[in-house]
Amino acid sequence: MADEQNTETAAPESAPAPEAPAPLAGTALANGQPPTAPAPETSWRDSLDDDLKSWANKFDSPAAALKSHRELEKRLGKSVVMPGEDAKPEEIAAFRKKVLGTPDSPEGYKLTLPEHIPQEVRDNPLSDPLVKKFVEQSHALGKSPDQVQADLNLFYEAMGSIQERAEQQAAQRAQQGIDALKQEWRGDFEPNTVYAQRAVKQFDADGQFKQFLETETIGGIPVGNHPAFARFFAKVGRALSEDSVQLEPTETEIASYNEQANAIRAKRNEALARGDQASARRFDEEERAIYARMGNQPIVGTAGRSA
């Protein structure tokens, strides 16, 4: 009992207090101060105006943006600004000269004209009033040398085509006139043509009227080929022939007479070689008659003639 009374109940040992957890990053500091908020992310574009930020978004760095701007300046330095509506004439002229190569004056165009143009005009194209007016108008419009040359080539090509068609049409009309005269004169066409030629030649000693007949036209037909003139001169030639007026032979007639005279002369020489004097004298008279129609005097006597 005594042992039970003296025995004291031992107090239970207390458990050690748990260690405080380490502060989480961003929530508490070791010294117990409140946590600091993380620094916001910054960009080199933040300092730009709002209207530049969208443009800057295309680049990764300020260096890339500067490089792009430098390239743009290079291109702008080579570009040409179109003159405005209020631009001065000298500004427009300077623009055309720089961009198109337009010379300072119409005389500055170096042009090449077709080979069929006279040499003096090809050496100085502006000496032709038509070409000069064309080039002056082209210069006023500010055309480049290549444009003016191309336009000029097209002009001459068109003019050549127009002239060629006109000549073809004139030839067709002239042939139609000849065909009409053949139908009208029938078997007298050749004689009437000869009469007309002889009439002109008889009274045109200096050849001026013949030149007029060949160069002047009526309805695109040379006057000499016009049926009305052919009829008129055929009547004149026939009337002169009937009045026994000595008319000079035409070139066609002379060629025919010479051919006949040569043939008769050959026959005469053959007769002389055979000793046939009678035939030789007859051929001699025939040759004299041919020369008489030609208006020439033959060599007198058969002895003086050469084969």
187-239 pLDDT, tens digit each: 888 888 888 888 888 888 888 988 898 888 887 678 888 888 888 988 888 88
* pLDDT, average across residues 9-31: 54
Structure tokens at 90: 């000298």
The rounded mean pLDDT for the chain is 78
Residue 147 has pLDDT above 80, yes or no: yes
- Place 103 in a pLDDT band, splitting at 50, 70 and 90: very high
- Measure the CA–CA gap between 189 and 195, rounded to whole angstroms: 10
- Place 55 in a pLDDT band, splitting at 50, 70 and 90: confident
Structure tokens at 49: 């105006």
pLDDT of residue 115: 85
Q: Where is 29: in which H helix or E strand?
A: none
Residue 46 has pLDDT above 80, yes or no: no
- 272: closest CA among 224, 248, 305? 305
Domain spans of the chain, in order of start? 89-143, 187-248, 253-294
Residue 307 has pLDDT above 60, yes or no: no
Residue 156 has pLDDT above 50, yes or no: yes
Of the listed ranges 3-17, 63-77, 217-231, the least confidently predicted one is 3-17
Q: Which residue has the higher pLDDT, 51 or 220?
A: 51
Q: Which residue has the higher pLDDT, 33 or 212?
A: 212
- Place 302 in a pLDDT band, splitting at 50, 70 and 90: very low
* pLDDT, average across residues 182-191: 87
- 135: closest CA among 152, 123, 157, 150? 152
Residues 6+ apart with CB under 8 A from 104: 93, 97
- Measure the CA–CA gap between 198 and 226, rounded to whole angstroms: 17
> pTM here?
0.42
Q: What is the CA radius of gyration of the chain?
A: 57
pLDDT of residue 295: 56
- Measure the CA–CA gap between 221 and 171, rounded to whole angstroms: 7
- Measure the CA–CA gap between 47 and 175, rounded to whole angstroms: 93
Type of residue found at 225:
N
pLDDT of residue 299: 38
- Helices 189-203 and 227-242 cross at an angle (nearest 10°) of 80
Residues 6+ apart with CB under 8 A from 56: 45, 48, 65
Residue 105 has pLDDT above 60, yes or no: yes
HEC string of 139-193? HHCCCCHHHHHHHHHHHHHHHHHHHHHHHHHHHHHHHHHHHHHHHHHHHHHHHHH
Structure tokens at 257: 């007479």
Residue 9 has pLDDT above 60, yes or no: no
Do the beta carbons of residue 275 and residue 264 sit within 8 Å?
A: no
Residue 298 has pLDDT above 50, yes or no: no
Residue 81 has pLDDT above 70, yes or no: no
Of the listed ranges 29-33, 37-41, 124-128, 276-280, the least confidently predicted one is 29-33
* pLDDT, average across residues 160-174: 84
Residue 109 has pLDDT above 70, yes or no: yes
pLDDT of residue 247: 54
Do the beta carbons of residue 170 and residue 221 sit within 8 Å?
A: yes
To which residue do tokens 């080199």 refer? 44
Residue 10 has pLDDT above 80, yes or no: no
- Measure the CA–CA gap between 234 and 212, rounded to whole angstroms: 18
